[in-house]
Each structure stands twice: as structure tokens, then as C-alpha cells.
Amino acid sequence: MNSLTIRNVNTLFFLSIYFSIWVSSPGPNTFIPILNFSLLYYMLYDLYYYAMEMGIDMVVHHILTTLLVISSMYYPTHWDILKPFYLAEISTFFLVFSKMPTVFYPFLRQVSKFLFVGTFVYFRVYSIGYTLLYQRLELTLSFWFAYSLWLLNVYWFFIIVEKVKNNFSSAK
């Protein structure tokens, strides 16, 4: 297996643990600390083992996410800031499946690309943007890390739109 496939398998493993903690917990007060540690571990693991293979924007994403998690662990952070970021990881599942080798279920790969774009736009651009721009939140350190991450997601959104446009124009 190549390094990308191993990284994808690791990502799916960490995300499945992450979401199973969320689903099995009775409420935010019990699972926020566990989610923080699981996301922090995932980000640091990814940075340690794969930073040289990532683009600079992914390294910045991992660093900002790590800083957001750490700042929310040490400074009281309202759940409204954190929840959209935790939910945004849903799009990562579909991103990973869309990058799997085509020999493994080519139809699943195509569906995953479609679901990735949809979940990315909804969770990473709309939901996080709505929370940061329209809810009255304190301008804490966590807020500024969250806002920086959202701007990075908006940057990625424009890259995704360009790729979708190119796919449609090459299909004609």
C-alpha cells in the first residue's frame, strides 16, 4: 500500500472513533473534552507523519485546528463555535473515499466526490460562516482561530468550484 492509502485508512479510523464518541455521549459537557483530545491527536498524528506530503494549506489547516482545540481546552469556549467545526469533519469522510484507488468501487468514489462537495459547502462554508458571522459570539482567541479556519475553507471552496467547472467543461 502506498503512503496515501495508508493515510486514508488512518484518517477513516480516527474519524470513525471521533464520531462514535459524539454519537454515544449523552451531552456536550461529557463529550467535548473527549472530542477535543481525539481531534487534537488526529491533527498532531497527521502533521507528524504526513506534513512533508501535505500542501502548505493543509499544514496551516492542521496547525489552526490544533490551536483552536488547545485554546478551547484552556479558555472557556462556547459550544456554538466548536460544534460547526466538529460537524465539518463529516466532509473529510467523503474526501477520503473520493481519493481511494478506482479499483475499489468506482461508483462509490464518484458518489463520494458529489457528497464531499455538498457536505463541504454546507458544513465548512455555510454552517461555520453563519455561526461566526451572524451569532453574537465573544471575540476570544478560539473565535479568531475559528475565523481563520473558516477563511481557509472559503479559499478551498473557490478551488473546489474551479475543479467542478473544469470537470463539467471537459465532459462536454
pLDDT digit string, tens, across residues 117-160: 999 999 999 999 998 888 877 788 888 899 999 999 999 999 99
- Residue 42: the pLDDT is 82
What is the DSSP annotation of the chain? --HHHHHHHHHHHHHHHHHHHHHHSSSHHHHHHHHHHHHHHHHHHHHHHHTTTS-HHHHHHHHHHHHHHHHHHHS---HHHHHHHHHHTHHHHHHHHHTS-TTS-HHHHHHHHHHHHHHIIIIIIIIHHHHHHHS-----HHHHHHHHHHHHHHHHHHHHHHHHHHHHHHH-
- Residue 109: the pLDDT is 81
In this structure, what DSSP letter does residue 51 have?
T
- Residue 13: the pLDDT is 64
Domain that holds residue 87: 3-171
- Regions of the chain short of the pLDDT cut 70: 1-31, 76-80, 101-104, 171-172
- Residue 2: the pLDDT is 53
- Residue 137: the pLDDT is 75
- Residue 161: the pLDDT is 94
State if pTM tops 0.75.
yes
Q: How many domains does the chain have?
A: 1
- Residue 12: the pLDDT is 66
